[in-house]
């Protein structure tokens, strides 16, 4: 039977796969050793488990296990990568380049670097959400030391041209960081061919536990970082702190499953996403946000014109989805990502992000599609804007009474 509410927010987080949870549990109870303990079997067992997991994370992205540094998650990885590289290479230059649609973990870290005396360029995207490579090249300067561009956008699911950006950066000796939190298990990542120097990973977006992530740090050519967490010199000095063995084991198993299953899984999810899109496309005035081709199959971000965002979320409370607006405050604040696409505020307000995943079913998609048909029709019946549009009024010509 269909269980409500239906979870369609896999880009916020994913459930831990039961196979992952099962593999983690022994490392909490019997196999509790500290992987840094070198003098007894408890430590050796834990260390072996950590290294096995490191190999799995590296294998998913075709890297060397020695290039993987454990962190608490993608936010910490982004902080370590950007602050660490900016500080280490400050002698080369103090200019960074990133994109307006990056995750807050990158944007806010860049703001902090600005406070510390660095200069950051925040690039616009095209109206399909993708970075314009010509504009990107034009933004690079002789003193540009670090570039950060995400692989898959968390709100609209578009895939940035990372391989091309990597070539441009490498040719100029610029350190290139990629936030891949939303990408693992969704797109093929080959770090042997992609010229990426630093890449951030998260476990909990890929059916692993929360609180664990990793940073890929390239060895050839070698990339250096100024450590941000000091202590016992764990992780070759990149990140001190006792390793969370059970979390690491979980991330390793989650990434192993992603490697084995992503081919078939992505096809199934693409079929479901297309089914949802088809189901919704006969509603008038719906707009897909972000490029539909250069996009992971898991994401559908749609604006429903002439329906207000908060009432839309109230109407679809049987669906666990994210909205394009942060509507708990009095002044509605549309998503900065949708704004960067040039969407007018009204469409940004009335957008819903559907993100599908491993446990999404056809029955759930059909339910969601029917529900949205009913509710959009009802809210439009209530909407004076919809009525005016039906009467042929061009809303942009209306003189609205400001309030």
- Residues annotated as catalytic are 327
Alpha-carbon dihedral of residues 128, 167, 105, 68, nearest 10 degrees?
130
Taking each helix axis from N to C end, the angle separating 104-115 and 74-88, rounded to the nearest 10 degrees, works out to 30
Cβ neighbours of residue 71 closer than 8 Å, sequence gap 6 or more: 77, 80, 212, 213, 214, 215, 239
* 402 contacts another protein (rule: CB under 8 A): yes
* 304 contacts another protein (rule: CB under 8 A): no
* 328 contacts another protein (rule: CB under 8 A): yes
* 41 contacts another protein (rule: CB under 8 A): no
Q: Which residue from 52, 108, 167, 346 is in contact with another protein, where contact means CB under 8 A? A: 346
* 306 contacts another protein (rule: CB under 8 A): yes
Tokens matching residue 107: 């944007």
* 395 contacts another protein (rule: CB under 8 A): yes
75 is in an annotated binding site: yes
Tokens matching residue 244: 């969370």
Q: Which residue from 84, 213, 309, 324 is in contact with another protein, where contact means CB under 8 A? A: 309
Query: Which residue's entry shows tokens 């060895």?
Result: 219
* 329 contacts another protein (rule: CB under 8 A): yes
48 versus 382: smaller Cβ distance to another protein: 382
Tokens matching residue 250: 């979980």
402 is in an annotated binding site: no
Q: What's the min distance (Å) between Cβ of 333 and another protein?
A: 10
d(CA 372, CA 189): 35
* 345 contacts another protein (rule: CB under 8 A): yes
User: Is residue 56 a contact partner of residue 253, using CB atoms and an 8 Å limit?
Assistant: yes
Only segment of 96-104, 244-252, 324-332, 368-376 that touches another protein (CB under 8 A)? 324-332
DSSP annotation string for 330-363: SS-EE-HHHHHTT--HHHHHTEEEEE--TT--HH
Q: Which residue from 91, 282, 397, 400 is in contact with another protein, where contact means CB under 8 A? A: 400
The residue ranges that bind another protein (CB under 8 A) are 306-311, 314, 327-330, 332, 344-346, 349, 381-387, 395, 400-403
């Amino acid at each position: 039977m269909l269980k409500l509410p239906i979870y369609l927010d896999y880009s916020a987080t994913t459930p831990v796969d039961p196979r992952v949870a099962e593999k983690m549990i022994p490392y909490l109870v019997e196999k509790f050793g500290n992987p840094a303990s070198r003098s007894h079997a408890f430590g050796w067992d834990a260390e072996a488990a950590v290294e096995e997991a490191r190999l799995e994370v590296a294998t998913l992205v075709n890297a060397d296990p020695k290039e993987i540094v454990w962190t608490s998650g993608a936010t910490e990885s982004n902080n370590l990568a950007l602050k660490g590289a900016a500080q280490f290479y400050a002698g080369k230059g103090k200019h960074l380049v990133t994109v307006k649609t990056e995750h807050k973990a990158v944007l806010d870290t860049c703001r902090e670097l600005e406070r510390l005396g660095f200069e950051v360029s925040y690039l616009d995207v095209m109206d399909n959400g993708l970075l314009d490579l010509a504009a990107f090249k034009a933004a690079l300067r002789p003193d540009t030391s670090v570039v950060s561009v995400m692989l898959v956008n968390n709100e609209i699911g578009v895939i940035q041209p990372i391989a091309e950006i990597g070539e441009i950066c490498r040719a100029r000796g610029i350190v290139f960081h990629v936030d891949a939190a939303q990408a693992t298990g969704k797109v093929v990542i080959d770090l042997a061919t992609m010229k990426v120097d630093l890449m951030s990973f998260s476990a909990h977006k890929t059916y692993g536990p929360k609180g664990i992530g990793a940073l890929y740090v390239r060895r050839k050519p070698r990339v250096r970082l100024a450590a941000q967490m000091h202590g016992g010199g764990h992780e070759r000095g990149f990140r001190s702190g006792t390793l969370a063995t059970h979390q690491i084991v979980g991330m390793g198993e989650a990434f192993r499953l992603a490697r084995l299953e992503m081919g078939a899984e992505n096809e199934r999810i693409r079929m479901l996403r297309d089914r949802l899109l088809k189901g919704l496309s006969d509603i008038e005035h719906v707009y897909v946000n972000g490029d539909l081709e250069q996009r992971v199959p898991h994401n559908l971000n749609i604006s429903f014109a002439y329906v207000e965002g908060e009432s839309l979320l109230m109407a679809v409370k049987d669906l666990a989805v994210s909205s394009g607006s942060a509507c708990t405050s009095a002044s509605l604040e549309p998503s900065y990502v949708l704004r960067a696409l040039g969407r007018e505020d009204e469409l940004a307000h009335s957008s819903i992000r559907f993100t599908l995943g491993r446990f999404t079913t056809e029955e759930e998609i059909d339910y969601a599609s029917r529900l949205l048909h009913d509710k959009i029709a009802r809210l439009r019946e209530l909407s004076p804007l919809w009525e005016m549009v039906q009467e042929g009024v061009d809303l942009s010509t209306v003189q609205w009474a400001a309030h």
